[in-house]
A and B are shown apart, each in its own frame.
Chain A
């Protein structure tokens, strides 16, 4: 059972997660079917900036985050931005969408000029997230847990970060037990996705360079 405090934390995190989203007009442009390679590149890079801003606004709402050392806050956000973006875009891709929308989104990525060697692991990740049938609470908590990883480069006070992450992990563990009773490994599988995210993160810089060249 979630304690009252844990339920309140969960509600708060989910509310913050839902409140901060990429602007609608930008999201609508993504669903336009006809676009040139250049238009696509510009839109996707614009969306990346917006995604980071959304991520920062969400993170500011994580209890205790703004009381961390300021440079540690920067280090955590820098270290987790790419992973958080992949998580958020996985949610978008695996959500049930009106007819044809997922195909348009997929087409944008496949025609973007990004090499197949990077696209394949990305879509494999989206597929593995989809298979988990995650609830919104799980997306929100997993994002917070990703951001609060104390082993990011340049984080000085790792203990302070771990102290913020621990309650999130506990709430997620309980939530998994309550919502996925038929899958006792659900929590472990969610954490396994974080490992997959690290791989995507490491490949990301190489992916950007190759994309820019193409």
Chain B
């Protein structure tokens, strides 16, 4: 579960910084 949380946070940080490529 902690691995999932780290993965989730990484996706969120990346998406917050950049644009989601439609």
Instruction: Write the residues of chain A forming the contact surface with B, with a CB cutoff of 8 angstroms.
Output: 20, 23, 49, 52-54, 56-57, 60, 70, 73-74, 77-78, 81, 205-206, 208-209
Chain B residue contacts of A73, Cβ below 8 A: 16
In the complex, the answer to whether B11 meets A49 with C-beta atoms within 8 Å is: yes
Expressed in whole angstroms, the Cα–Cα distance for A84 and B2 within the complex equals 20
For window 8-22 of chain B, which residues contact chain A by CB distance below 8 Å?
8-9, 11-13, 15-16, 20, 22
Grouping DSSP codes into helix (H, G, I), strand (E, B) and loop, the A interface class, with mixed when no group exceeds half, is helix
Q: Distance (Å) between the CB of B22 and the closest chain A CB?
A: 7
Binding site for A on B (CB under 8 A): 1, 4-5, 8-9, 11-13, 15-16, 20, 22
Cα–Cα, bound, A117→B3 (Å): 23
Quote the shortest CB–CB distance from A57 to chain B (angstroms): 5
Contacts of B13 in A (CB 8 A): 74
B1–A208 CB distance below 8 A: yes
Rounded to whole Å, the gap between the CB of B18 and the closest CB of chain A is 10
The reply to whether A74 and B12 form a contact with Cβ atoms under 8 Å apart is yes
